Amino acid sequence: MSGADHPLLRHRDGHHARVTFEELFFDLVYVFAVTQLSHELLGNLTLMGVIETLILWFAVWLGWQYTCWTTNWFDPETPRIRSLLFTVMLAALIMAAAIPGAFGERGLVFALAYAAIQVGRTAYIVWELGPDHPLSANHRRMLGWLSIAAVFWIGGAFAEGAARIGLWAVAVACEYGSPMIGFALPGLGRSTTADWTIEGGHMAERCQLFVIVALGETLLATGATLAEFESWNPALLSAMLATFLGTLAMWWLYFGTSCKDATEAITHAADPGRIGAYFHYIHAILVGGIIATAVGNDLVMAHPHDGVKAAYALTLCGGPAIYLLGSAVYKKVVYGALPASHLAAALVLLALLVAAPFADLLTMGWLTTLVMMGAGLWEGRVRSRHRHGTAGAGFAPRG
């Protein structure tokens, strides 16, 4: 497989494949998509709103992630793959713009744009590879599952309410779950992770850049909210500081304590395709936690003295807790052990739900920020001891 030649494939010379400017430009659309999702959840903080936003988030993530796998295999600096990437980018822009009305009058626009991304991109790659290339069988299976999912996406657009939610949830399950079974289809066989000959360093860096996109959107939202106020009173400035430090803590928990080790783990893994698949699943949860946290930050900034309603409390505590749990599983893949710092901090965040009715949003914002900062300091000390050779063997990076 690694020796298979094709003019569109990345050249593999044993070095870390760099992320190209085409890929960085492509990611800009997803800054907009993440902003749309956080605004959608902020405007509909109900159980139904959470379910709808979750479905839309999986669509955004899966469209980006499948494209990430494509640019891991194929060189985006070649004219044909560059054209493919920019075509997908246009469809992603339309999809992201349709997010606010996806469960309303723009459902068909959203579904068609998304199906065009997934099916169109994969069909083009199948056509370019031809029938005999070693990567062809995997892409044919992938195309089969994405086509099945597209039926549910488009069919759901013609339904309303709970029926649309149900059909789109099935579509998400098809796309998110099919890699777990190797895209198995009757007559087409089944792929194994050994078939996914990815360049591990590139895959890790692409996931890391999406985390930067999500964290960057969180900071943009904080700055935009601050700019909307004519009078910058102490409560507003305190809320801004709390949200900034909370975002900084999330950055540190990911980039300051595991980023380089994660790259090493996937680069030197015996089966990088398997680690890449783990990253595929884990980052959907981890970034989802960032989006939910951004919504909590908006609440704290906009209404610092308001009481904490149940929905607000769940958002303020749940977003960081989801992030911590996603980060914990991520570090389990990298180091082979769940970090106690993350689990303890998640439990403290859940315990804060009890105190929420007696606090205002600003107080809760600071409490959740302090928990995240504490987790970051704890984990930083663990990583520091490891690097100086005093940590337990269970925290050695995998490879």
Average pLDDT of the residues in 245-270:
82
> Can you give the pLDDT at residue 13?
60
Which of 3-12, 90-99, 126-135 holds the top average pLDDT?
Answer: 90-99
Q: What's the pLDDT score for residue 396?
A: 45
Would you say residue 198 has pLDDT above 80? no
Name the DSSP letter for residue 393: G
Look at residue 1 in the predicted model and tell me its pLDDT.
Answer: 38
Q: Distance between CA 24 and CA 253 in Å, rounded? A: 23
pLDDT reported for residue 121: 96
CA distance 156 to 165: 7
Q: From the DSSP assignment, how many helices (H) and strands (E) are in the chain?
A: 14, 0
Residue 395 has a pLDDT of 42
Closest CA to 319 of 50, 56, 62, 61: 50
* Inter-residue contact 156 to 172 (CB < 8 Å): no
The pTM for the full model equals 0.88
Note the pLDDT of residue 143: 95
Give the model's pLDDT for residue 16.
Answer: 61
Does residue 33 register a pLDDT over 50?
yes
Cα 244 to its chain centre, rounded Å, is 20
Contact 257, 304 (CB under 8 A): no
Confidence of residue 384 (pLDDT cuts 50, 70, 90): confident
pLDDT at 301 over 50: yes
Question: Which residue stretches of 178-199 are H helix?
Answer: none
Mutual angle of helices 272-302 and 259-267, in 10-degree steps: 160
Q: Which residue has the higher pLDDT, 134 or 56?
A: 56
For residue 263, what are its two tokens? 């790259």
The partner residues of 110 in beta bridges, in order of sequence, read none
Q: What is the percent of the chain with per-residue pLDDT over 90, rounded to a whole number?
A: 62
Instruction: Quick: pLDDT tens for 316-371.
Output: 999 999 999 999 999 888 888 889 999 999 999 999 999 999 999 999 999 999 99
CA-wise closest residue to 63 among 90, 81, 36, 44: 90
Q: What is the mean pLDDT of residues 137-141?
A: 91
Question: What average pLDDT does the segment 97-112 reach?
Answer: 96
Q: What is the pLDDT of residue 2?
A: 41
Mean pLDDT of 263-288: 80
The helix or strand, by DSSP H or E, that contains position 105, with its residue range, turns out to be none
Half-sphere exposure of 383 toward its Cβ, with a 13 Å CA cutoff? 24
CB 295 within 8 Å of CB 49: no
- Which pLDDT score, from 0 to 100, does residue 97 have? 97
pLDDT at 4 over 70: no
Whether 259 shows a pLDDT value over 80: the answer reads no
264 pLDDT more than 80: no
Arithmetic mean of pLDDT, 307-324: 94
Residue 256 is classified by DSSP as: I
Stretch 26-45: mean pLDDT: 92
Any idea what DSSP says for residue 189?
B
Q: 98 falls in which pLDDT band (50, 70, 90)?
A: very high
CA distances from 397 to 228, 251, 274, 379 (A): 45, 20, 16, 15
Q: Which residue has the higher pLDDT, 152 or 7?
A: 152
| Residue whose tokens read 């999702």 | 37
Please give the radius of gyration of the chain, using alpha carbons only, rounded to the nearest integer: 21
pLDDT bucket at 12, cuts 50 / 70 / 90: low
CA atoms lying within 13 Å on the CB side of residue 311 = 12
